[in-house]
Amino acid sequence: MEQRDTPVILTIDDEENIRDSFRLFLEDYDFRVLEACNGREGLEIFEREHPDLVLCDLRMPELDGLEVLATLKEQAPDTPIIVVSGTGVIGDAIEAIRRGAWNYLLKPIQDMSVLIHAISQALERSRLIKENRAYQEHLEDEVTKRTEALQKAVGDLNQSHLQLQEKEEKYRSIFVNLQDVYFEMQLDGQITEVSPSVSHFSLYRREDILGNNIDQLFPSAKNRDRLTSRLKNTGSVTDYEIYLQDKDGTLVPCSLNARYQDNLEPPKICGTLRDITERKQAEARIEYLAYFDALTELPNRRLLLDRLEQNLSRARRYRHYGAMLFLDLDRFKNINDSLGHPVGDALLKEVARRMTLGLRNEDTVSRLGGDEFVMLLSELGDDPVTAAAKAQKKAEQIRESLAEKYQIMGHELHITPSIGVAMFPASEDNQEAGNDILRHADTAMYRAKDDGRDSIRFFLPSMQSAADDRLAIEKELRYALERDEISLYYQPQVDASGGIIGAETLVRWNHAERGFISPAVFIPVAEATGLILPIGEWILRHACRQLKTWADQGHDMPHLAVNVSPRQFRQPDFIQQICDILEETGADPNQLGLELTEGMVIDNIADTIEKMQGLKQLGIELSIDDFGTGYSSLAYLKKMPLDILKIDQSFVRDIESDANDAAIVETIIAMANHLDLKVIAEGVETEFELDFLERKGCKSFQGYLFSRPLPEQQFSTMLAAGKVAS
Ligand code: C2E
Ligand code: CA
Ligand code: CA
């Protein structure tokens, strides 16, 4: 058997982004990843590279997943294949398992830990099977060899009795070590031979079974009769599933192979039994996975929608009300990014546990994926006002319970949910489906988030238009660059006397009909859809071009900072992209800075540091934006080649009113000094804030007190003057 240090995984999927995300993720776990974009290519690569495991999509051009399965099952039955398919084809997925897939996962995979778990489980099982097979083959070999030898020995009457005994001894040892059960019985069911391994299966000793009737082990008369009639008709059975009842009365699923031997006198039935408990469990697991979330074991979206539909029609029929609570954890991503997925997963499990505490039988808690949970409350009475009050009370209870502190793997964590509530049925004549209710609750949840997180909002029809807006933004953002609607503003960064020491680039979207759309609104949409890549590249190119223009005009522009999005930064060729842009525009890298956020630098730290060093070597300054809102620890910061910390404006805002925030600001400044980093305070709006920051040792500022972000012309004029207007 080939031994490799790095397991090789072949992903077969026609969607490039899925292959990419698997590759990026799996390489982090030290797998070597091969990719194929359809079944035909997958089989070619398989034959060449003999991967240790295959991740296979079902619906693909050229050759689909089921055909791949059929071929691989024949060629390499011991290589685990995990099917990864969309929910739309769940019937196919179950069919896939029947045809030999080892496991299947629903696409999109929300939780990569589920994938890694499935992979390690499959690899371990495959290793065991290979070992076992090698052992069995060895046994079979031995059996053949010994049987031949025995026959020869029996034929040769001159063979000494002692030698014969020795051979028999060896044969015996094989019989005794067999893992499956070997048995022989007469046609009337009397057991005449059985291997000792029967005790693992049945808890009976061999002696307790020999000579007894087979119905001692197989109590179901119907099943027995079917088996014997099959044997009589066809002479043999293979992989016949039957339940064996052990000494304690437990039923053990078995696969039976047997042959009717009428050439013997008296004729008998010989065969083997194999325990297939594990296979049965795997099948049950598939059923389960289709309806439950693997991480929290809560019902998944599919089961939730099932129950919601039932509830909805009951509520209409009996004229009572129910409610749907949609929860999203505030800033969960921060925890996941900075403390790692195991901590995030453990937190989600604990949230699931708290949500199910004291749950009524008729209610359902479900995890939709990520940090989204849903609670379905049914039968809240026939009065809409009372029903809504009950829903509100429950939502508040959950909010309180989730807000209590968490002890997770040595971290003390706090998290709050934003909760959207939708009552149903929404109106008497309305024929909305379960999906609509879910969307309403989701929309209300977004409103709760917009209104400052940690809050509860009920769905109102007017909210729907806001949600529709979001979709429209997504659609129109695709054309924003082509239509020339994106531009850059520049916000000066100054010293205490208002002298310009640099600027931050802030993107603006001037939509033809809607007017200015805030980057706080559209950057997250761009990030979620991937549009951030072309937009981000445009911003970088444009900023660099501007630097060159200022240089050509003789302006002294010390530093221009550009915001970089996580997805943009994670591109493998990000540094190359920057080099190309610098070369193309002729901008001086020493004038360029990049603003990164805590979350994105703490994720995958080794890779990040390497990337940051690459950027620094080009002469680019690096800053951490919104510092203080994440969970970065000093230990991490020390390792990173940073130049600047930007104190988040939420702290600056509260300096005056919140002693805690004032202390945080003080600590950040002290810490930056200690690490030899520059600090910029952002969002400085008042003299009071400026005065406080200055006294604590901060020397650089940015905020409305000095200047709002300005269009290019106005900023250039200010730059020429060298300081902000006072
Ligand atoms: P940010 O990077 O933290 O940018 C600072 C935000 O605070 C800007 O909002 C700025 O206009 C605003 N601001 C500056 N001074 C003050 C002040 O004194 N008071 C108050 N209340 N606000 C102030 P803006 O331009 O709306 O940008 C919002 C966010 O959108 C940015 O937060 C950044 O995360 C993102 N963003 C903006 N431009 C870009 C970009 O080019 N690329 C990427 N990836 N993200 C961007
Ligand atoms: Ca920024
Ligand atoms: Ca910021």
Domain boundary assignment for the chain? 8-110, 138-283, 320-474, 479-721
Q: Which atom of ligand 1 is nearest to the CA of 527?
A: 44
Segment 582-611 shows an average pLDDT of 88
Number of the ligand 1 atom closest to the C-alpha atom of 682: 15
Assess if CATH 3.30.450.20 describes domain 138-283: yes
- What superfamily would CATH give domain 479-721? EAL domain (3.20.20.450)
Alpha carbon distance 54, 90 (integer Å): 19
Query: Which residues have CB under 8 Å from 196's CB, separation 6+?
Result: 175, 176, 206
Answer whether residue 707 shows pLDDT above 70.
yes
Which residues have any ligand 1 atom within 6 Å of their CB? 491, 505-507, 518-520, 523, 536, 539, 563, 565, 625-626, 649, 682-685, 702-704, 709
Instruction: Quote the pLDDT of residue 2.
Output: 47
Tokens 């049987």 correspond to 147
Cα 565 to ligand 2 centre (Å): 10
Q: Of all protein residues, whose CA lies closest to atom 37 belonging to ligand 1? A: 506
Say which ligand is closest to the CA of 491.
Answer: 1
The answer for residues whose C-beta is within 8 angstroms of residue 114's C-beta and 6 or more apart is 105, 294, 295
Convert the pLDDT of each residue in 260-275 to its tens digit.
888 878 888 888 888 8
Task: Tell me the best of 477, 504, 516, 563 to mutate to test the pocket of ligand 1, counting ligand atoms within 8 Å of each CB and taking the most.
Answer: 563
What's residue 633's pLDDT? 59
* Segment 627-656 mean pLDDT: 81
Q: What is the pLDDT of residues 597-630, one digit of tens each?
A: 877 776 677 888 999 999 999 999 999 998 877 6
Distance of CA 505 from the midpoint of ligand 1 (Å): 9
pLDDT computed for residue 154 by the predictor: 61
- What protein residues have CB closer than 5 angstroms to ion ligand 3? 625-626
- Between 3.40.640.10, 3.40.1640.10, 3.30.70.270, 1.10.3720.10, what CATH number should domain 320-474 receive? 3.30.70.270
Element (H, E) at 645: strand 644-647
Which atom of ligand 1 is nearest the CA belonging to 595?
2
Q: Which ligand is nearest to the CA of 525?
A: 1
Asked if residues 376 and 310 have their Cβ atoms less than 8 Å apart, the reply is: no
| CATH number of the domain located at residue range(s) 8-110 in this protein | 3.40.50.2300
Omega within 30 of 0 (cis) for the link into 266: yes
pTM of the model: 0.51
| pLDDT tens sequence across 318-337 | 888 999 999 999 888 888 88
List the strands of the sheet with 236-245, edge to edge: 191-194, 181-186, 268-275, 251-261, 236-245
Query: How remote is the CA of residue 454 from the centroid of ligand 3, in Å?
Result: 22
